[in-house]
Structure 1
Amino acid sequence: MPRQASTASKQWPSPKMARGAEHLHQTLRRDITPYLCYILLVTAIGPLQFGYHLSELNAPQDVITCEKKSVTSSALPTTLPQCISMNTDQFAVVSSIFTLGGLVGALIAGPCCTRYGRLLTMRLTTTVFVVGPIFEALAPSISVISIGRFISGIGAGSSLVVGPIYISEVAPPKEKGLLGALTQIMVNVGILFTQVLGYFLSRDNMWRIILGVAGCIGVLQLVLLFLVPESPKWLAEHHHPQRAREILRKIRGRKEDLEDEVAAWNVDGTAEDISEEESLLSAPPGTHPESSPKASSESVGIFGAIMHPSYRPAIIAVVAVMFAQQLTGINSIIMYSVNILSTLLPTTAALLTVAISALNLLITTLCAPLSDKIGRKTCILLSIAGMGTSAILLAVGMSYGVKILAAIATLLFVTSFAIGLGPVPFILANELVGPEAVGATQSWALAANWIATFIVSQFFPILNKAMGGQGRVYYVFAVVAVILGTFIAWWVPETRGKRGADEVWGRREGRERVE
């Protein structure tokens, strides 16, 4: 037996796994240049801000609402009140108004980034991220902190539209799925960051530091964005093909062959186009060229996209996936994990929240390459199946008081989400439609996401109570998983390895996109 154990130990990792890991390492080392890493990380600060603001009120709730009022002197030298007295309903409004701002930001950002460019939209979004936390951190009343949360929500909604689009357009074609997962990874980083701060600063009026840190992050991103270029794909589509090539060459490196990627843009670089751009070639990376009237007229608005038969199937697909992301119940765990698990595990509520956030981040990061290997649709369906099964196990465990089963089901629930429904939905919009409609499609996707987030955050406690508590509400999430999973399996096409929207939908419907 000892010899067999030793042999088995030597067999892992297997030669095939080792070769695969080495191939992945060499591919990433070749395709992902230091400059690409820089612009990806700067762009991903936007989704990080979304995660941060989503959970910033979780840990310090009792301190902010005066439920836990300190008897010591104020920790910060300020004339502002140590807390803001509010009841449960008022706090719910302060929390949920963030989702209303997110809906507004998502609807605005799509047309904006299509018409005026990804870079300008990111800069405007980052400015909003600076303003919102100022209102929040210095709020003397419920109305002021609500205004701050609404403004921060606008930034969050916008960042989840433009960030994934930009990342998908600058990522190497073979790593779009892997790098597309960066959006959800950074959302989880933001959640974990604010939970850790909440664990240490949920006392006195130190909660104002938690809310104010987001503004400092916004200032940092705004400065770093000056070295981030416009999306090459957007420039090419808006009659700046030569400038697009120059930026793409800088992103990919001097030795990389760009011809296949440039050909996928389906843009002809005419002499007239190149002549218009000669004066731009010496401009710094952050310079944003003006889009021509012709280019602007080619952009598709959010209502034009849903009315057009060529784009409607894609919008239905991304809306269904975004509904599945939220209505299968992930935010019931992220936002209400304290109430769910406080009686199941022997630790403090704050540490429980930190642990779940850390697990979500870890699994999302480890599973990031999956969508490029087995496909976007496969990852989504595996994720939905895992969450539906985990929801049933969680309901059984809580209903019958089986603490171990409930705890394991909760961890499996978060793990299943991280496999597909976490990262993949943010990739789809850019792969299901052409660049002229990707902003509008992403806006519809994120609008659906924010609406579903609001539904879960507002009605989960009500429905849970109406069903007698004890986790029976998770049977509802399991049924929703079955319904949405079946629809997605039937309707949503696979996009992995496809060169454009025509190929994606042409293979499914046997038709060309109407120009």
Structure 2
Amino acid sequence: MPPPALLRVTEGVTPYFCFLLFLVTLGPHQFGFHLAELNAPQDVITCRSAKAPAVSTTKSWPTCIPMSEAQFAFVSSVFTIGGLIGALVAGPYCSRYGRLLAMQMTALLFVAGSIAETFAMSITILAIGRVFNGLGAGAATVIVPLYISEVAPAQSRGFFGAFTQITVNIGILFTQTLGYFLSRGSDWRYILGTGIVLGAVQCIGLLFVPESPAWIAASSNNPITLQQARLTLQRIRGNSANLAAEVAQWPGAAGSAEEQSLLGQGAARLDGSCEGEGIVAMAPPSPRPAAAALTGAKKQTVGFFGLVADPSHRSALIAVIGIMFAQQVCGINSVIMYSVSLLNGMLPLNSAILTIIISAANLITTMLSAPLPDRLGRKTCLLLSVVGQGTSSFLLAFSIVYGIKILSAISVLTFVAFFAVGLGPVPFILASELVGQEAVGATQSWALGANYVATFLVAQFFPLVNSALNAKLGGAGWVYFLFAFFAVLSAMFFWFYVPETNGKKNADEVWGKTTRVD
């Protein structure tokens, strides 16, 4: 007999839900792919490798694009500028027009960006392609966690929420592996061209994905539309699933007799059963008029700037921004984006192979850690993660400075492994749990905006700060003492400012507020 924890995770999971999960997480997958795509072929692309002559003898494109260290840092970090814009725009856009249309737009951006990168003949075109891919990545990391949280079974949303980070790591591992085999001559263009294929597959696949039922219910007062949302949810959950508790939390779900009748008829047509066999037990008709019932149950959507002005959401906003900054300033992207050049000659393995091992360890640990946010709690996982990553960062700095190569290799692996325990997946989960449905889109935009600002700072200035510290102090590795210090600050922030959301019914319960019933 399967263990209770496994039964809890798989309850309500259908093949159709798994199909949707695969298609929508192609967005975060491409985020990871494009984040790390320049890591392995860096020397070839920038003409620093003997394998990369400046002009190809077989193609009209240059085999490589001459770049200084500062120019390459700009091309790498400009991805996060696109990500910042995409994240800021995506929340309000998907709140107004729906999750599905927003995901379709991101897929088109990935295709356009990958085409520009693949055929780039200059730094400018390569950077423009990176901006387009950043726009898609930033939007995807806002929209996809929202969509998953709205279609996943309630008892396992933490587990499936971690799939955002899992697929990011799959994308990183995939591109690092391609980079190991294709970092020569003009073959690096095949790495970037793979992004065209991934974007096209998602464009086609999203034609078979339905809109989020929760978004439909939150954005419409029409009983017919609510009926369609419930039918969609029934298809995702399976014909035998009882949706009473879930549908009861939708705005206007307990509205008029007309609405209840329509929902009941639609459900009966879906699975042919009756109440008690998978059909929601409908509440008695409300004595209020239908329009009043529906409108009164709804909360007005909170916009991007309205979130800042609303004191009731300020604590949540501070928490999610702090969490997202912590995710980046503890140094994970120093390894993901620059590990091949950073670790070259420092460790007992070829740096490209070590990068693949690091990416694989990150993926495996993220997958193994996926149940932990639901079992141990979100805050506990964050604290375990940041303490472990800070300790690993300190040991990595110490071992590099004093030339202890085995300890360096172990420290790098534990550094990314502890990231996967909490700092990787939990921020994407928390951003949709600390506020109500009316503010979740704007909160995700603020959260991912903060994330991309922090990512840009690391991507742009890490190589420069690293070089400056190495030149001033002698040797390498000193920058990881700085990341260890940031980990200490992050742990203090988590302890005092981040509430636990696991097991809480809604944002009001998270913050200890009393839900007002009109």
Same topology, TM > 0.5: yes
Pair 232,312 (structure 1): closer, same or farther in 2 beyond 3 Å: same
1:460-491 deviation digits (Å, cap 9, x = unpaired): 23323333253222222222112121122111
Q: Which letter does structure 1 place at the counterpart of 2:424?
A: G
Are the counterparts in 1 of residues 43 and 49 from structure 2 also a CA contact under 8 Å?
yes
Which residue matches 1:433? 435
Return the match for 1:156 from 120, 132, 137.
137
Which residue matches 1:262? 247
Pair 173,276 (structure 1): closer, same or farther in 2 beyond 3 Å: closer
Pair 85,339 (structure 1): closer, same or farther in 2 beyond 3 Å: closer
Which residue matches 1:235? 216
Instruction: Report the Cα distance in structure 1 between the residues aligned to 2:125 and 2:482, rounded to whole angstroms.
Output: 37
Are the counterparts in 2 of residues 76 and 205 from structure 1 also a CA contact under 8 Å?
no
Which residue matches 2:104? 123
Q: CA deviation at 1:77?
A: 5.9
Instruction: Report the Cα distance in structure 1 between the residues aligned to 2:59 and 2:46, rounded to whole angstroms.
Output: 18
Which residue matches 1:245? 230
Q: Which letter does structure 2 place at the counterpart of 1:265?
A: W
Pair 98,264 (structure 1): closer, same or farther in 2 beyond 3 Å: same
Which residue matches 1:216? 197
Q: Which letter does structure 2 place at the counterpart of 1:393?
A: L
Q: Does 1:205 pair with 2:178? A: no
Q: CA deviation at 1:199?
A: 1.0
Q: Does 1:181 pair with 2:162? A: yes
Are the counterparts in 2 of residues 432 and 495 from structure 1 also a CA contact under 8 Å?
yes
Are the counterparts in 2 of residues 74 and 205 from structure 1 also a CA contact under 8 Å?
no
Q: Does 1:68 pair with 2:49? A: yes
Q: Does 1:480 pair with 2:482? A: no
Which residue matches 1:385? 387
Pair 45,76 (structure 1): closer, same or farther in 2 beyond 3 Å: farther
Are the counterparts in 1 of residues 307 and 313 from structure 2 also a CA contact under 8 Å?
yes
Query: Secondary structure, in 3 states, of the residue corresponding to 1:119?
Result: helix
Q: Which letter does structure 1 place at the counterpart of 2:217?
A: A
Q: CA deviation at 1:132?
A: 0.7
Query: Secondary structure, in 3 states, of the residue corresponding to 1:83?
Result: coil
Are the counterparts in 1 of residues 53 and 63 from structure 2 also a CA contact under 8 Å?
no
Range with bigger deviation, 474-483 or 65-74: 65-74
Are the counterparts in 2 of residues 237 and 295 from structure 1 also a CA contact under 8 Å?
no
Which residue matches 1:413? 415
Percent identity between matched residues is 53
Are the counterparts in 2 of residues 310 and 513 from structure 1 also a CA contact under 8 Å?
no
Pair 295,69 (structure 1): closer, same or farther in 2 beyond 3 Å: farther
Return the match for 2:505 from 486, 494, 499.
499
Instruction: Report the Cα distance in structure 1 between the residues aligned to 2:52 and 2:440, rounded to whole angstroms.
Output: 54
Q: CA deviation at 1:190?
A: 0.4
TM-score if structure 2 supplies the norm length?
A: 0.87
Return the match for 2:347 from 345, 348, 353.
345
Instruction: Report the Cα distance in structure 2 between the residues aligned to 1:297 and 1:108, rounded to whole angstroms.
Output: 21
Q: Does 1:465 pair with 2:476? A: no
Q: Does 1:48 pair with 2:29? A: yes
Instruction: Report the Cα distance in structure 1 between the residues aligned to 2:335 and 2:192, rounded to whole angstroms.
Output: 22
1:224-246 deviation digits (Å, cap 9, x = unpaired): 11111111111111123222211
1:434-475 deviation digits (Å, cap 9, x = unpaired): 111111100000011111111112222332333325322222
Query: Secondary structure, in 3 states, of the residue corresponding to 1:160?
Result: helix
Q: Which letter does structure 1 place at the counterpart of 2:302?
A: V
Q: CA deviation at 1:335?
A: 2.1
Instruction: Report the Cα distance in structure 2 between the residues aligned to 1:324 and 1:412, rounded to whole angstroms.
Output: 18
Range with bigger deviation, 49-58 or 296-305: 296-305
Are the counterparts in 2 of residues 317 and 491 from structure 1 also a CA contact under 8 Å?
yes
Equivalent residues, number: 485
Are the counterparts in 2 of residues 264 and 499 from structure 1 also a CA contact under 8 Å?
no
Within 5 Å, which residues of 2 pair with 1:310-389? 310-389=312-391
Instruction: Report the Cα distance in structure 1 between the residues aligned to 2:251 and 2:227, rounded to whole angstroms.
Output: 14
Which residue matches 2:121? 140
Instruction: Report the Cα distance in structure 1 between the residues aligned to 2:183 and 2:263, rounded to whole angstroms.
Output: 54
Q: Which letter does structure 2 place at the counterpart of 1:99?
A: T
Q: CA deviation at 1:140?
A: 1.5
Query: Secondary structure, in 3 states, of the residue corresponding to 2:437?
Result: coil
Which residue matches 1:287? none
1:183-221 deviation digits (Å, cap 9, x = unpaired): 000000000111111111112211111111111111111
Pair 76,249 (structure 1): closer, same or farther in 2 beyond 3 Å: farther
Instruction: Report the Cα distance in structure 2 between the residues aligned to 1:324 and 1:514, rounded to whole angstroms.
Output: 37
Within 5 Å, which residues of 2 pair with 1:96-111? 96-111=77-92
Instruction: Report the Cα distance in structure 2 between the residues aligned to 1:214 and 1:293, rounded to whole angstroms.
Output: 44
Query: Secondary structure, in 3 states, of the residue corresponding to 1:267?
Result: coil
Are the counterparts in 2 of residues 319 and 448 from structure 1 also a CA contact under 8 Å?
yes
Instruction: Report the Cα distance in structure 2 between the residues aligned to 1:514 and 1:418, rounded to whole angstroms.
Output: 40
Range with bigger deviation, 238-247 or 333-342: 333-342
Which residue matches 2:399? 397
Q: CA deviation at 1:511?
A: 5.0
Instruction: Report the Cα distance in structure 2 between the residues aligned to 1:214 and 1:101, rounded to whole angstroms.
Output: 16
Pair 74,316 (structure 1): closer, same or farther in 2 beyond 3 Å: same
Which residue matches 1:455? 457
Q: CA deviation at 1:248?
A: 0.9
Q: Which letter does structure 2 place at the counterpart of 1:343?
A: G
Range with bigger deviation, 491-500 or 185-194: 491-500
Instruction: Report the Cα distance in structure 1 between the residues aligned to 2:299 and 2:149, rounded to whole angstroms.
Output: 23
Structure 1, unaligned runs of 5 or more: 1-18, 283-291
Instruction: Report the Cα distance in structure 1 between the residues aligned to 2:55 and 2:29, rounded to whole angstroms.
Output: 30
Query: C-alpha root-mean-square deviation of aligned residues, in Å?
Result: 2.8
Q: CA deviation at 1:295?
A: 12
Q: Which letter does structure 1 place at the counterpart of 2:423?
A: L
Pair 464,376 (structure 1): closer, same or farther in 2 beyond 3 Å: same
Which residue matches 2:496? 490
Structure 2, unaligned runs of 5 or more: 270-293
Q: Which letter does structure 1 place at the counterpart of 2:155?
A: K
Instruction: Report the Cα distance in structure 2 between the residues aligned to 1:421 and 1:167, rounded to whole angstroms.
Output: 19
Which residue matches 2:72? 91
Are the counterparts in 1 of residues 252 and 297 from structure 2 also a CA contact under 8 Å?
no
Q: CA deviation at 1:385?
A: 0.9
Query: Secondary structure, in 3 states, of the residue corresponding to 1:151?
Result: helix
Q: CA deviation at 1:69?
A: 5.1
Q: Which letter does structure 2 place at the counterpart of 1:237?
A: A
Q: Which letter does structure 2 place at the counterpart of 1:115?
A: R
